[in-house]
Amino acid sequence: MTNLRWLRWIITRYYRQQGFRVRICSIKLGNCAIDGEVIGGGQRIALEIKTPKDDVTRGIGQLTEALVFGYDKATLVTTLSNAKRINCKVFREMNFSLLGVDSKGNVVDICKNVSR
C-alpha cells in the first residue's frame, strides 16, 4: 500500500534536486484544492498527488482548474504501476505531466516519451 506522505516526500525531493521551491499543502482554487505547487525558473507548477485508490479523473479536473487560476503547468503524481495504466492522450492534449513513482523512489515521466 502506497502512503500519501511517502509520495509527497519523494516528489518534494525530486523537484528540490532540480532547484525548484516546493510547497506541499492544500491550496484552495475556486471550487477545488490542489495538493501543492512548485515554483522556479519563472513558472508555477500545480501538483496533484494521488494514491492508487484515489480518483484520477477528479485529479485531472483539479489540475485543469489550477491552469485557469494562473498556473503555467500541471502535474499529476501517482505510483508507477498506476501511472502506466493511465492513457496519456489527455495529458498530451492538456500539456499536463504524469509522474510515476516506483517502489525505490525513482520518479518517471510517463507521457514524455510517448508519441502522439
Residue 93 lies in a domain: yes
Residue 30 lies in a domain: yes
CATH of the domain at 81: 3.40.1350.60
Residue 41 lies in a domain: yes
Dig out the grid coordinates for 74 from the structure: 500541471
Number of domains the chain is built from? 1
Dump strand ranges (E) for the chain: 21-29, 32-40, 43-49, 73-79, 97-101, 107-109
- Checking phi first, is residue 77 left (phi over 0); if not, alpha (psi -120 to 50) or beta? beta
Domain span at residue 72 reads 4-109
Residue 116 lies in a domain: no
**In the prediction, which pLDDT does 3 show?**
87
Give pTM, 2 decimals.
0.91
Residue 16 lies in a domain: yes
**In the prediction, which pLDDT does 114 show?**
55
**In the prediction, which pLDDT does 116 show?**
46
85-95 pLDDT, tens digit per residue, is 998 998 988 88
